[in-house]
Amino acid sequence: MKIWKMIAIFLVIVLAVGVTACNPFAAKTDTTPRFEAVIGNIIVKVNGNGKTGVAEEAKLNFGIAGKIEEMNAEKGDVVKKGQVLARLQTDGLQLAVAQAKTALSQVEIAQTQTEVAYTQAKVALEAAKYDLDRMEDVDEAKDKVTEAERRKQFTEANLQASFAFNDSNVTSFLLREVGLAEIDILNAKKELADLLEKDRYTTLKVDDVALKVAQVDAAEQSLTQAEKTMKHASVSVESAQKSLEYAQKQLEEATIICPIDGLVITVNGREGDYVAGASSASNPVFYIIDPASIEVNAEIDEVDIPNVKLDQKALVSMDASPDKAFEGKVTYISMVPIQKQAGVVAYEVKIKAVTKPEIELRVGMSTSVDIVVNESQNVLMVPNKAIKRDELKTAYVEIVNGEKTEKLPVTLGVSDGTNTEILSGIKEGDMLLARQDSTKKS
């Protein structure tokens, strides 16, 4: 009996299900999520982690070894650019500078003297050459007079002989030649007279010319020697200048001068201590930073680094106070990767604060960074879940129109991974069906 009751109940349930399934007026519930196309902002970011550091810092040492005589700053002091922070004992160095200056003055005087001697030798040579040239001019002028007189005598002898032949043509020619010879004599004597008026060489011998030649040779030798002496003096001056520069550099390196405005972080050394100088670079006497130059050194993954550009906006939050983010900008992008393990490749990016952080930044703080690589304001956008693609990879959406849906192709813009800009195809307020799980993601 119980069995028959169970069979009857089963038949009633089956019948009820069949009636419901066949009833065209039965209620249908569509559970597919729907989204609305809205106007908004799409911000595309890449993120990374990093720590704070400083752009302006100075590790300062003495340039030479010595005993510290003055220490003018302590740990925690605020210092200014150009301030003398420390000094070594410099008595010996100051004496070396004074001696080098004296030596330089002495060789400069000697150089001046050699330059004067060189100038005098040059003038003497020019005078000797001039004297020789004038003497040779007088000698040549006398030769011209002698030659003209001989030519006249020869022509006059021929003229006397021509009278015996009684040839008027020959006589006329010879008379003309005598006249020309007399003109040449007058010109030569005038030239000689002009020279003698200046140089007074009324008599001139071969020995006189030879003496002048010897004087020229001697003057040339004197000039050559003076030139060598002057060059040697120039070398001496150059050497003395280098010695002075070295002594002055030694004196300068015995003093530490602050190169930046900043804060003294560490001090190694006290008055009376001996220091090794520049060789102790790993343990500087002063380590100074500029707190105003604190920046963020972030690590950005190799996949994202191509999108990062200089001057892009960045949002920085501190692990110590995540709710107090500040704005910065990209100031440096490394061309070489950071050495990391497990095959991870990342690049260093430096970010400088643009707005003043609400908390005091300190070196070494951990940070999270979001760099804005693209930003679209007031654009039509839809959730990525509403974007579908057909077999040709063409993007489309399904618009809900009453009880019907319509497929519309769309042109996509930028995407932040959650929402995508729609350039064309739909309008604000359109309702869209979500993509089914079996549909490939856009």
Tell me what pLDDT residue 402 has.
81
Q: Which of 102-106, 198-202, 210-214 bottoms out in mean pLDDT, i.e. has the lowest?
A: 198-202
What's the distance, Cα to Cα, between the start and end of the chain in Å?
61
Is pLDDT at 3 greater than 80 in this prediction? no
The mean pLDDT of 215-222, rounded to a whole number, is 70
Where are the domains positioned within the chain?
Answer: 58-87+254-288, 94-248, 290-433
281 phi, psi to nearest 5 deg = -60, -30
Is pLDDT at 204 greater than 80 in this prediction? no
Q: Which residue has the higher pLDDT, 37 or 29?
A: 37
The CATH class, in words, for 94-248 is: mainly alpha
Is the domain covering 290-433 a CATH 2.40.30.170 domain?
A: yes
Listed in order, strand segments (DSSP E) in 62-117 are: 66-71, 78-79, 84-88
pLDDT 10s digits, 312-353: 999 999 888 888 889 999 999 999 998 777 778 999 999 998
Tell me what pLDDT residue 206 has.
44
Amino acid, res. 319: D
For residue 280, the 8-state DSSP code is G
Assigned token pair, 225: 């020697």
pLDDT 10s digits, 287-307: 999 988 889 999 999 999 999
> Among residues of the chain, what percentage have pLDDT more than 70?
77
Strands 274-275 and 255-257: unpaired
Please compute, for residue 319, the number of CA atoms within 13 A of its CA located in the half-sphere on the CB side. 12
pLDDT 10s digits, 80-131: 999 999 999 988 888 888 988 888 888 888 788 887 777 777 776 676 666 6
How distant is the alpha carbon of residue 360 from its chain centre?
34
Q: Which residue has the higher pLDDT, 21 or 252?
A: 252
**Tell me, which fold does domain 58-87+254-288 have in CATH?**
OB fold (Dihydrolipoamide Acetyltransferase, E2P) (2.40.50)
Assigned token pair, 104: 């330089």
Determine the Cα–Cα distance for residues 313 and 304; give it in Å rounded to an integer. 15
DSSP-derived secondary structure for 370-418: EEEEEEEEEEEEEEGGG-EE-TT--EEEEEEETTEEEEEE-EEEEE-SS
Tell me what pLDDT residue 343 has.
77
Q: Could you give the 3-state DSSP secondary structure of residue 32?
A: coil
Phi/psi class of residue 297: alpha, beta or left (left: φ > 0; alpha: ψ in -120 to 50)?
Answer: beta
Tell me what pLDDT residue 232 has.
84
Tell me what pLDDT residue 258 has.
95
Tell me what pLDDT residue 214 has.
64
Tell me what pLDDT residue 129 has.
62
Of 113-122, 165-174, 197-206, where does the model show the most confidence? 113-122
What's the mean pLDDT when you consider all of the chain?
Answer: 79
- Is the entire prediction scored with pTM above 0.75? no
